[in-house]
């Protein structure tokens, strides 16, 4: 057998079929042309199909028409409006809780400042101008140290004006001592501050003086005190005596940012209370026409020290103080009937600040008193 037929690697074996089969070449070439035509037709058909698919896809819309969009928006609006009655009470309760939290935090901060500084500090509850028994703003306040003049020998000369009256009230005029003139600084003392003479005896309220800038006053000062019937004092009408003094000034606002209660909420001072052993009474100085703030101060040991009201008057609380956190639109007795409102309470002895719900019936303080009793009055 020929070598080219037996050797599989001979170039002859790698020739196209039509070249190797020389005797059948015409038929083979015809088959090749027929196969090539079929393949071309298939490719053309596939291209046509692809083009058709592309044209069909080009007619599909992307997005929504204006009418469809308006229908969707209308459905959303209807759902939101229909759910509002169920959402509003929850939102109001949330605002009330937030107002109570802010008040609780502000009182706790004031108490912490008093303990840290070893001096009285408090919370100034600013009354509204249009609704005097409501408050929306809370300011941190501190009690300045007593003022006894600028020099160690500072004195005031006292002159009694008429002696002790039948009602037990006495009125004095306190002028600067000529021997220590220039030792009384302006810009420190206001009407409503209290003064004590000779470091002992009763506190006299400062009711007048020479007006300076910013509402501050200078001697001669007019001072009064309620001593009681039959009281005796070392100074009599027409008698002048020079004595040392101490002036106890009212709390003043600090530079700290005030706390603003949420919209629609209020501290209802007219319904706030002071309670002790089942006895309940309103907070002092709450005449509706008054614009003077209410100031709660804490002593250096953290206890509730004083309540300032009516532009300088001060009282020592006899029990726990309960501030009613209510709704502005219900300001007044209606807030006590709204059980979603809250009490923020301050214990007299411990200064403990608690938050509790209004209880049904009675004065609404049962839950508040229970929390205060658990923590110590």
Which DSSP helix (H) or strand (E) runs through 320? strand 320-327
What are the pLDDT tens digits along the chain (377 aa)? 444 445 555 554 444 545 444 445 555 555 556 555 555 545 444 444 444 444 545 555 567 788 888 888 888 988 877 776 766 667 888 999 999 999 999 999 999 999 999 999 999 999 998 887 899 999 999 999 999 998 888 999 998 877 777 777 888 899 998 887 667 888 899 999 999 999 888 889 999 999 888 889 999 999 998 877 666 676 665 678 889 999 999 999 999 999 999 999 999 999 999 998 778 999 887 765 577 899 999 999 999 999 998 877 889 999 999 999 999 999 999 999 999 999 999 999 999 999 999 998 878 899 998 888 876 55
* Pair (51, 97) in one structural domain: no
* Pair (243, 265) in one structural domain: no
Q: Which domain holds residue 160?
A: 156-249
> Other CB atoms closer than 10 Å to residue 252's CB: what's the count?
13
Q: Which of 249, 269, 290 is the last residue of a domain?
A: 249
* Pair (191, 219) in one structural domain: yes
* Pair (174, 305) in one structural domain: no
* Pair (131, 261) in one structural domain: yes
**145 lies in a domain?**
no
Report how far apart, in Å, the C-alpha atoms of 55 and of each of 41, 50, 52, 60 are. 21, 9, 5, 10
Our count of domains for the chain comes to: 3
Report how far apart, in Å, the C-alpha atoms of 69 and of each of 59, 97, 173 are. 21, 40, 82
* 156, 243 contact by CB (below 8 A): yes
* Pair (134, 261) in one structural domain: yes
* Pair (173, 35) in one structural domain: no
**149 lies in a domain?**
no
* Pair (263, 244) in one structural domain: no
* Pair (240, 274) in one structural domain: no
* Side-chain-facing half-sphere of 182: CA atoms under 13 Å: 1
Q: Which of 214, 249, 284 is the last residue of a domain?
A: 249
* Pair (263, 370) in one structural domain: yes
């Amino acid at each position: 057998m020929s070598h080219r037929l037996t050797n599989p690697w001979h170039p002859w074996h790698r020739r196209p079929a039509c070249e190797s089969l020389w005797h059948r070449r015409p038929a083979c070439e015809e088959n090749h042309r027929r196969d090539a035509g079929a393949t071309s037709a298939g490719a053309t058909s596939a291209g046509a199909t692809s083009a058709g698919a592309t044209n069909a896809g080009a007619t599909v819309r992307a997005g929504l028409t204006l009418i469809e969009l308006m229908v969707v928006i209308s459905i959303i609006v209807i759902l939101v409006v229909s759910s509002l009655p169920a959402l509003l009470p929850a939102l109001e309760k949330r605002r009330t809780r937030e107002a109570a939290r802010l008040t609780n935090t502000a009182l706790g901060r004031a108490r912490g400042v008093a303990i840290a500084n070893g001096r009285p500090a408090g919370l100034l509850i600013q009354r509204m101008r249009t609704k005097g028994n409501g408050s929306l703003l809370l300011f941190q306040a501190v009690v300045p140290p007593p003022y006894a003049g600028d020099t160690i020998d500072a004195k005031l000369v006292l002159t009694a004006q008429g002696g002790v009256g039948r009602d037990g009230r006495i009125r004095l005029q306190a002028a600067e001592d000529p021997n220590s003139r220039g030792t009384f600084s302006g810009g420190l003392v206001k009407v409503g501050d209290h003064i004590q003479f000779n470091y002992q005896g009763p506190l006299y309220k400062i009711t007048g003086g020479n007006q300076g800038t910013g509402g501050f006053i200078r001697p001669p000062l007019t001072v009064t005190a309620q001593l009681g019937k039959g009281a005796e004092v070392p100074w009599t009408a027409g008698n002048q005596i020079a004595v040392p003094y101490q002036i106890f000034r009212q709390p003043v606002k600090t530079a700290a940012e005030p706390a603003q209660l949420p919209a629609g909420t209020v501290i209802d001072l007219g319904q706030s209370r002071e309670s002790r052993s089942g006895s309940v009474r309103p907070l002092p100085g709450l005449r509706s026409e008054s614009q003077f703030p209410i100031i709660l101060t804490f002593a250096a040991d953290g206890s509730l020290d004083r309540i300032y009201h009516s532009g300088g008057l001060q009282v020592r609380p006899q029990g726990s103080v309960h501030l009613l956190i209510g709704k502005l639109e219900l300001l007044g007795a209606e807030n006590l009937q709204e059980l979603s409102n809250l009490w923020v309470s301050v214990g007299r002895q411990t200064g403990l600040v608690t938050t509790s719900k209004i209880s049904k019936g009675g004065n609404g303080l049962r839950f508040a008193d229970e929390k205060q009793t658990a923590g110590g009055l």
